[in-house]
Structure 1
Amino acid sequence: MKKLIAEFIGTFWLVLGGCGSAVLAAAFPDVGIGLAGVALAFGLTVLTIAYSLGHISGAHLNPAVSIGLWIGGRFSSKELIPYIVAQVLGAVAAAGVLYIIATGNGSEVGTFAANGYDELSPGKYSMTAALVTEVVMTAMFLLIILGATDDRAPKGFAGIAIGLALTLIHLISIPVTNTSVNPARSTSQAIFAGGAALGQLWLFWVAPIIGAVIAGLIYKGVFAEKK
């Protein structure tokens, strides 16, 4: 139960910090943090949770991460579904808090930092571009996570590598999909944005999971220490 609470809180913080920065601060007149600021905010949420709650649950904060670690032989199958449920619930709870804050000055919810393609893509990128982006970015994210947390990797630095990786991923892919690589994050925002965002949500489950599976298989088959 401690692990599930840690995953709930950690994913809550990721969505509140990352999506909160996109919804509240990115376009603030004259002094907004912009895309680079949003990318950094997502990285900082992972970095801070990795060092505060990572020793309890591993700080997955993301169904794709849990699935990738499971495929890579680093996570037990019996914990997989409970982790995913805790992550989604934490993300939705954060989106609920963010909704209350964002509409507190009379603003409409708008796109609410939801992920999307075609008309919902910030740069109007196609479904194919979105699918490729999310698969590749998630695969790279999982390879970095699996490598940074390997017993042979330098100790104590995994959180830094993972947080910076998520920052870089956002710098690359915000214009394409608003960056998911995390089905829980995508679900939480789509619920409140509604409409087309919910209709496109399937891609932001399918693509990150495919990317995670690819990375798990590659790391286990190529880089894992043979026993």
Structure 2
Amino acid sequence: MRKLLMECIGTLFLMMAVAHSGNNPIAVGLMLAVMVYSGGHLSGAHFNPAVSLAAWMRGKLGVADMVQYMVAQLVGACLGWLVHSYLVGGSTAPMPTEHPVMHGVVAEALLAFALVTVVLNMMSSRSAGNPVGGLAIGFTLSAALYTGAGVSGGAFNPAVGIGPQVMEAITGGGFDANTLALYGVGPLVGGAVAALVYKFLND
């Protein structure tokens, strides 16, 4: 339960940073970094279903644990949306851009691949206790946002991308099915490929 609560809390604050800052790369990257330092010893500090999928593929999580992590992350993102909506109101980032959906899916997959690759390397026994691990992960997310947000809106995280859409649908705002492909399929494919590449390079 503690692990799931940490995943929920970390994703909540990550979602708040995304929404409050308009997906500012520095703010979002720093929030992820500090949440990694806060929760790494408890849950592994995934805060991203793509990371949890890769951790399962690496044998670090069981199937049930992976599903529970993903649910906790989605709940955290939805709660982050609620807090943002209460405090500020208005729509939240990330938002799909005018680029073709497939371009966005590819951007999400490629940059989620980069993010998950860094996370997997920081999770490895060779990097255990590395004091800059959180910063490396946060800086990677910042770089990904600078690189790809203009194409996809910049989630690289299914919970952060889909959570706001789920809440807007619940509150009567409608749901765009393209969001599932953009922020669901793209990052999960990137995370899965990152796990396979990591295995090829390191095992």
Normalised TM-score (structure 1): 0.82
Q: Which amino acid aligns with 1:44?
A: L
Q: Any idea what the Cα deviations from partners look like across 1:89-132, whole Å, max 9, x if unmatched?
A: 011011011011123xxxxx24x21432xxxx0xx211221111
SS where residue 152 of structure 1 aligns? Answer: helix
User: Is 2:22 the counterpart of 1:19?
Assistant: no
Q: 1:187 aligns with which of 158, 162, 179?
A: 162
User: Is 2:68 the counterpart of 1:68?
Assistant: no
In percent, how many aligned pairs have the same letter? 28
Q: Which amino acid aligns with 2:12?
A: F
2:174 & 2:108 partners in 1: Cα distance? 18
Q: Any idea what the Cα deviations from partners look like across 1:49-95, whole Å, max 9, x if unmatched?
A: 11111110111001111001111233232310111111000110110
Structure 2 partner of 1:217: 196
Structure 1 partner of 2:78: 92
Structure 2 partner of 1:28: none
Structure 2 partner of 1:131: 105
Cα distance 1:157–1:114, how it changes in 2: closer, same or farther (>3 A)?
closer
Q: Which amino acid aligns with 1:223?
A: N
2:145 & 2:40 partners in 1: Cα distance? 22
1:213 & 1:76 partners in 2: Cα distance? 15
Structure 1 partner of 2:35: 49
RMSD of Structure 2 on Structure 1 (CA)? 1.7
Q: Any idea what the Cα deviations from partners look like across 1:124-171, whole Å, max 9, x if unmatched?
A: 211221111011111111111111222113722211110100010011
1:98 & 1:63 partners in 2: Cα distance? 21
Structure 2 partner of 1:206: 185
Normalised TM-score (structure 2): 0.91
Cα distance 1:166–1:81, how it changes in 2: closer, same or farther (>3 A)?
same
SS where residue 73 of structure 1 aligns? Answer: coil
**May I ask how many residue pairs the two structures share in their alignment?**
198
Deviation of residue 196 (structure 1)?
Answer: 6.9
Kept in 2: contact 1:139–1:212 (CA 8 A): yes
More helix by share: 2
Kept in 2: contact 1:73–1:220 (CA 8 A): no
SS where residue 65 of structure 1 aligns? Answer: helix
Q: Any idea what the Cα deviations from partners look like across 1:18-50, whole Å, max 9, x if unmatched?
A: 22111xxxxxxxxxxxx7xx0011111111111
2:179 & 2:12 partners in 1: Cα distance? 19
Instruction: Return 5+ residue gaps in structure 2 as ranges.
Output: none
Instruction: Return 5+ residue gaps in structure 1 as ranges.
Output: 23-34, 104-108
